[in-house]
């Protein structure tokens, strides 16, 4: 019989807050974290806005010398992991290090390091490239650094599946615990991709919102006037444990993770399948894995990117899975507030879903002003809603046709 798996710790760094309390308050208030890009000169870029971390100082939690040898996405992952361990009250000195693992997703990895070192190559030649270039850039260094810092010797790797990366990491960690391959897993995602190449690349795809004159109103999932997504950055890491392990150490339990389903569209490198078939299977299989009926779900944290096709397809998929019950659901998009954190979105949005379930409050989809006739569900427009959340789903879909749905319920 599979082990039950529970969430006992949370660590989150987001454009609306650098602590769980700040993040939750921002979600409930409907406070946008989108503003002008300050990390580089955006004069020649069509899109000039993003959801940047504000006030993040890595040296407050990481040795200065070590921090300089980490790409920002690794710094975010390390700090969020430390926060999650502390929140869980987990004393790692009392744990078998081989039974504690780290799985963290990142869609792009160390792109800031890549761009910086490429500039050095072009300006000064190959002899001036940093010897830390490769270990700073590669995506697996997020869980690698966390494991080294905390002495964790259990399962350790990175999932890379674009915007589904963080959700895949959580799902894989869930399976390790269910099978008994570990007692504790730190898992989620991290991303720091507000860089010239990333912003320029997404601009070339015409994927980003161009509402530069109104940043806080630019990310508007399901709204008829949406014009693309807004990049964000940050990290979301949770502590997952087997229920037996959590009970033995007297841990506080936030909720129980009960279902996971990854699927593929096998359709297109960037666009979702037009009938939502992959998303439909992900939600149905997650419900089956969780042994839940559709009517037992009260809330869905949507992928909800603020793109024309993506929001319509996800709405269609929800209606296919839930039928008439879809109109009873609360459906909201965290991306309306913080932008699209790419590989970190699955981790941060899992935490948002978890907090909605814990507090019986569903955070809003902000900037929902002009209903799209094809997006006609309860997207919790602009104001948080108090409602009982017994069980919830979190959807993450990525370029390449990757789909993940995670299911959680109140712990009893």
* Cross-strand partners of 13: 235
Measured at the alpha carbon of residue 163, what is the angle toward residues 31 and 130, in degrees to the nearest 5?
Answer: 100
Query: Tokens 């870029």 label which residue?
Result: 45
- Return the DSSP state at 294: G
Concerning whether 363 is annotated as a catalytic residue, the answer is no
For 101, residues 6+ apart whose C-beta sits below 8 A from its C-beta are 152, 154, 155, 156, 173, 176, 182, 184, 185, 186
Pick the closest to residue 278 from 327, 306, 320, 328 (CA basis). Answer: 320
Residues 390 and 290 sit within 8 Å (Cβ to Cβ): no
Pick the closest to residue 315 from 224, 218, 189 (CA basis). Answer: 224
Per annotation, catalytic residue among 145, 163, 245, 402? 163
**How far is residue 412's CA from residue 409's CA, in Å, rounded to a whole number?**
9
Per annotation, catalytic residue among 145, 168, 245, 340? 340
Residues 393 and 407 sit within 8 Å (Cβ to Cβ): yes
Helices in 71-229 by DSSP H: which ranges?
A: 72-88, 111-124, 133-137, 141-150, 165-179, 196-204
* Cross-strand partners of 36: 49
Per annotation, catalytic residue among 145, 245, 303, 402? 303
Q: What are the backbone angles phi and psi of residue 129, rounded to the nearest 5°? A: -65, 135
19: how many CB neighbours lie within 10 A of its CB?
15
Concerning whether 359 is annotated as a catalytic residue, the answer is no
Concerning whether 340 is annotated as a catalytic residue, the answer is yes
The number of angstroms, rounded, from the C-alpha of 389 to the middle of its chain's C-alpha atoms is 20
Active-site positions? 163, 303, 340
């Amino acid at each position: 019989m599979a082990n039950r798996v529970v969430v006992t710790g949370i660590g989150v760094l987001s454009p609306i807050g650098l602590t769980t309390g700040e993040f939750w308050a921002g979600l409930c208030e409907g406070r946008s974290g989108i503003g002008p890009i300050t990390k580089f000169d955006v004069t020649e870029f069509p899109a000039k806005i993003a959801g940047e971390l504000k006030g993040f100082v890595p040296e407050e939690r990481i040795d200065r010398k070590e921090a300089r040898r980490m790409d920002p996405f690794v710094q975010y992952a390390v700090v969020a992991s430390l926060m999650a361990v502390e929140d869980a009250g987990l004393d790692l000195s009392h744990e078998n290090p081989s039974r504690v693992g780290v799985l963290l997703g990142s869609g792009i990895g160390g792109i800031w390091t890549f761009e910086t070192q490429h500039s050095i190559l072009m300006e000064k030649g190959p002899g001036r490239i940093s010897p830390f270039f490769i270990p700073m850039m590669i995506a697996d260094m997020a869980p690698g650094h966390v494991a080294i810092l905390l002495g964790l010797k259990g399962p350790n790797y990175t999932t890379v599946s674009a915007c589904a990366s963080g959700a895949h990491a959580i799902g894989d960690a869930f399976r390790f615990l269910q099978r008994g391959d570990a007692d504790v897993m730190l898992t989620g995602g991290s991303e720091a991709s507000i860089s010239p190449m990333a912003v320029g690349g997404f601009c070339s795809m015409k994927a980003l919102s161009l509402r530069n004159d109104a940043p806080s109103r630019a990310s508007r999932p399901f709204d008829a006037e949406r014009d693309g997504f807004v990049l964000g950055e940050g990290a979301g890491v949770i502590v997952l444990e087997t229920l037996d392990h959590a009970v033995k150490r007297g841990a506080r339990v936030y909720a129980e993770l009960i279902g996971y389903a990854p699927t593929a569209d096998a359709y297109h490198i960037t666009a979702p399948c037009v009938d939502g078939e992959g998303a439909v299977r992900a939600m149905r299989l997650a419900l089956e894995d969780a042994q839940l009926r559709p009517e037992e779900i009260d809330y869905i944290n949507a992928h909800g990117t603020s793109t024309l096709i993506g929001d319509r397809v996800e709405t269609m998929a929800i209606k296919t899975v839930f039928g008439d019950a879809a109109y009873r659901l609360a459906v909201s998009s965290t991306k309306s507030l913080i932008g699209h954190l790419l590989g970190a979105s699955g981790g941060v949005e899992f935490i948002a879903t978890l907090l909605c379930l814990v507090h019986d409050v569903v955070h809003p989809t902000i900037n929902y002003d002009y209903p799209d006739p094809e997006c006609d569900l309860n997207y919790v427009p602009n104001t948080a809603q108090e409602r009982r959340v017994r069980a919830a789903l979190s959807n993450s879909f990525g370029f390449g046709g990757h789909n993940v749905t995670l299911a959680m319920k109140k712990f009893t």
